Amino acid sequence: MQDFLFSIYPWLKIGHVIFMVFWLAGLFMLPRQCIYMLDHESGSVGEAKWAERMGKLRKIILTPSMIIVWVLGLTLAYSIGAFSQGWFHGKLTLVLALTGYHGWLVAQTKKMARGERPLSEKRLRMIGEVPGLILVLVVALVYLKPF
């Protein structure tokens, strides 16, 4: 099995990177969409349109991409024996944190779709930077393998 996985390793890695880009693009977009929704009154047509857009982003891009990233990432890790390497533990911790952020952000957007406003524009702008910071750390771990 491991020989087969190793033989398709480049394709697994390509898929992993592509769906990681989709996932992170969605995580960059979702807080921005929340900011746009803040401009509309609760119960308005504009709010309903933004709630629908956020729902589609979550269901069509974000969650499927996250699942594919996890499946391909764990498969890649297994195929190269990364589970015993320190850099991988760091990456795994950061991806777990990003997954938690994803879940938290989805919960916030669902609240907003119900008319609640749990986050201010300033806070949304700040939390919108989280995926970028985690991306920098993950890329550094993967390419430098410092430990």
The domains of the chain are located at 2-144
Q: What is the mean pLDDT of the chain?
A: 96
HSE (side-chain half, CA atoms, 13 Å) at 121: 6
Q: How does pLDDT run across 89-126, given as a tens digit for each residue?
A: 999 999 999 999 999 999 999 999 999 999 999 999 99
pTM for the whole thing? 0.94
Residue 72 is predicted with a pLDDT of 98
Known binding-site residues for heme equal 16, 91
Pair 9, 80: CB distance under 8 Å: yes
Q: How far apart are the first and last CA of the chain?
A: 27
Q: Which secondary-structure segment (H or E) carries 111?
A: helix 86-113
Q: Coil, helix or strand for 118?
A: coil
pLDDT for residue 32: 97
Res. 2: pLDDT tops 80: no
Q: Detail the residues annotated as belonging to a binding site.
A: 16, 91
pLDDT at site 1: 82
Of 65, 136, 49, 56, residue with least CA distance to 102: 65
Q: Rounded to whole angstroms, how far apart are CA atoms 29 and 24?
A: 9
Please tell me what DSSP assigns to residue 80: H
* Tens-digit pLDDT profile for residues 30-49: 999 999 999 999 999 999 99
Share of the chain above pLDDT 90, in %: 97
Find how far residue 145's CA is from the centre of its chain. Answer: 22
For residues 135 and 115, give the distance between their C-alpha atoms in angstroms, rounded to a whole number: 31
